[in-house]
Amino acid sequence: MSADSAKKRKTKVIRSDGGAAVEKESRKARGDGDQEIKSYSEELEVDTRDPAKDYDLYKKTCEDLQRLMAEIHELKSKGGKDVSAEIDERRIQSCIHFMTLKKLNRLAHIRLKKGRDQTHEAKQKVDALHLQLQNLLYEVMHLQKEITKCLEFKSKHEEIDLVNVEEFYKEAPVDISKPKFTMNDPHQQTLSRLDWELEQRKRLAEKYKESLANKEKILKDIEIKKEYLSSLQPRLNTIMQASLPVQEYLSMPFDQTHKQYEIARHLPPPLYVLYVQANSYGQACDKNLTVAIEGDVEEAKALARPPEDSQDDESDSDAEEEQTTTKRRRPTLGLQQDDKRREMLKRHPLSVTLDLKYKDGSVLHLYFYYLMNLNIMTVKTKVTTATEMSIAISAGDLLSPASLLSCLYPGDHGKKTPNPANHYQFDKVGILTFGDYIGELGHPYVWVQKLGGLHFPKDQPQKFVMADNSLSASHMETTIKLLRVRLQSRLALQKQFASLEHSIVPISSECQHLFPAKIISRLIKWCAISYEDYVALPFTKHVVEAGMAQETDLFFSAFIERGTAKLHVAIVLNPGYSTIPPIFSICLNWKGEKSSRNDDNLKAIESEINVCFKELLGPKPGHQLLTNQIQRLCMCLDVYLETETHDNSVEGPKEFPQEKMCLRLVRGPNRIKPFKYNHPQGFFTHR
């Protein structure tokens, strides 16, 4: 095939969208200009060709092409003038082989595409059949489930709690129960019972609707009343503010009382019981009793909150501070014990104050505290007088907080905790006795616990005891009266001690008839002594041995003199004076030392003073008892000295002339003298 003929021939290949290629060859004749067109389809050709033969053709073409390339390379390596023509010829043959390879490649791709299409069609058929199979299996499974549901079906009436058969025939009407048909037919009986249940539920539904309607009406009324009350509150506040001057003028502090009630909500239960009962008693029985609440309200509110709320906001900062403090130093065991003790003895931030006012203007202030971890109450006292009183040296402990309320009830010294469970708590933190902290915390008297409604059984120690209103109410009146009498007696004693220190025995006009007009023996000294000094006196041993002198009592010493005779007096004053009388012990220094142990008349004088004290109480409540006893002692000393026989061996007049009129000077084998004064006759007799 020459180069000129290849240039004159034009070949055009047209490929459709389906991948078919159409080759058009146009040939123009020189003479007549006719055109011949030949077209063919390679897709059709693929069906007629054998792939194995195409593969052999491919292998042969590759071998020929490899041979031609080797020959071209050999010719180029030889060189020469005639070599180029041979190279061109072999190059043309190589191009024809390349064309053959391209055609084989196209046929291979067409054959591959047809194989993929056939595979895809077969796969689609398989998928369609598989889908049909799955649909059939799903339908079978659905039918099986429906069959199972039908087999396991339970009617709703089985879950309904129907009335029993007897009640059904008794309560249901005949048109529903139909006993002739339902007695022997369980199915009809069940249907009738369901009809009766439906009828009952319809009735209940109607009642429910009526109840809902009534509820809506009531809710509307409540909302109207709430709106009225919400609008009433500002008006009431305005009225209260406007009435403050009137309240102050009439001494009726309603606003202050309302604030106190609001604060009382944050009191611990024992203090709240005390506040309510004391306030109620003051309003009903004692107008001179004032109750108030003191302390930090915000701190009390913080105690009432859960610990998580108060710690969430500052948890990070607290953790950082703890880390820094632990890095700096580790607390010693002693510091840890001190912190535990402080926490154990921690008081509630709120306290209740009771003010008992007296006619003379004196006020007894009582401050009640609550120890949260020990579950006990304590009290502190303070006394204010309207006028400044002359303070006697011997009256130093009369109004002191440590002894003012001691033994308000017999045996209640207030130095030990009344809660038995506290002893186990003290052992954990190393507290030996609660008495070491009384000055800081106050006295835990038993009557204080009862005012707060606390009662601690000794046989069964309990850490937490609930406050009882009835217990507080049963002790309130008696305790308030005892407190009033206690302060009145102490104030009276303080005035009496001031006179006794000046050697004056004050006798009221109501008690003048108890003594003769003239008493020569006089008091020359009065002072307070300690318990140890009292025990050291030899003539007081019988009182100490009898257990009538305790360390909590008050002890005094007095000297009464007449001429050369001097009477030494030791006095035990119980904190419960004047309910409990003082106890006198005497020793006479005249013609030797005499006491009740070796002189029957001195023993009779002690009996006259200590046993017959009721005659000396005077007007109630008997605050003049002590001074009346001292005055009677002076009177008895006069009788003792004046009735003593005169020694004729001694020259001169009688030292103590008889000035008292006695019916009999002595009586009985013990020669007891008459010490009882009879008014208004004015003479002395024996008892």
Which stretch of 428-432, 587-591, 607-611 has the lowest confidence by average pLDDT? 428-432
pLDDT in tens, 304-361: 776 554 444 444 545 555 554 444 455 566 678 888 888 999 999 999 999 999 888 8
Alpha helices in 14-82 (DSSP H): 42-48, 51-78
Is the pLDDT at 533 greater than 90? The verdict is yes
**H helix or E strand, kind and range, residue 12:** strand 10-15
Three-state DSSP string of 641-687 = HHCCCCCCCCCCCCCCCCCCEECCCCECCCCECCCEEECCCCEEECC
Integer Cα distance of 232 and 244 in angstroms: 18
Tell which residue, 490, 270, 285, has the closest CA to residue 375.
270
| Neighbouring C-beta atoms of residue 453, cutoff 10 Å | 26
With contact defined as beta carbons under 8 Å apart, do 448 and 378 qualify?
A: yes
Is the pLDDT at 252 greater than 90? The verdict is no
Is the pLDDT at 5 greater than 90? The verdict is no
pLDDT band at 62 (very low <50, low <70, confident <90, very high): very high
With contact defined as beta carbons under 8 Å apart, do 622 and 645 qualify?
A: no
List, in order, residues 6 or more apart from 418 with CB less than 8 Å away. Answer: 376, 444, 446, 449, 456
Model pTM score: 0.61
pLDDT of the residue at 519: 92
**What does pLDDT average to over the chain?**
84
Tell which residue, 662, 657, 653, has the closest CA to residue 644.
657
- Average pLDDT, integer, range 184-205: 88
pLDDT of the residue at 307: 57
Rg (CA), the chain: 62
Q: What percent of the chain lies above the pLDDT cut of 90?
A: 43
Q: How many residues does the chain have?
A: 687
Which stretch of 1-15, 46-60, 531-545, 669-683 has the lowest confidence by average pLDDT? 1-15
DSSP string, 387-440: SPPPPPGGGTTTS-TTTTTTTSSTT--S-S-S-THHHHHHHHHT---GGGGHHH
Which stretch of 99-113, 149-163, 293-307, 453-467 has the lowest confidence by average pLDDT? 453-467
| Neighbouring C-beta atoms of residue 289, cutoff 10 Å | 19
pLDDT of the residue at 19: 40
- Average pLDDT, integer, range 448-452: 94
Which stretch of 80-84, 454-458, 667-671 has the lowest confidence by average pLDDT? 80-84
pLDDT of the residue at 364: 93
pLDDT of the residue at 602: 94
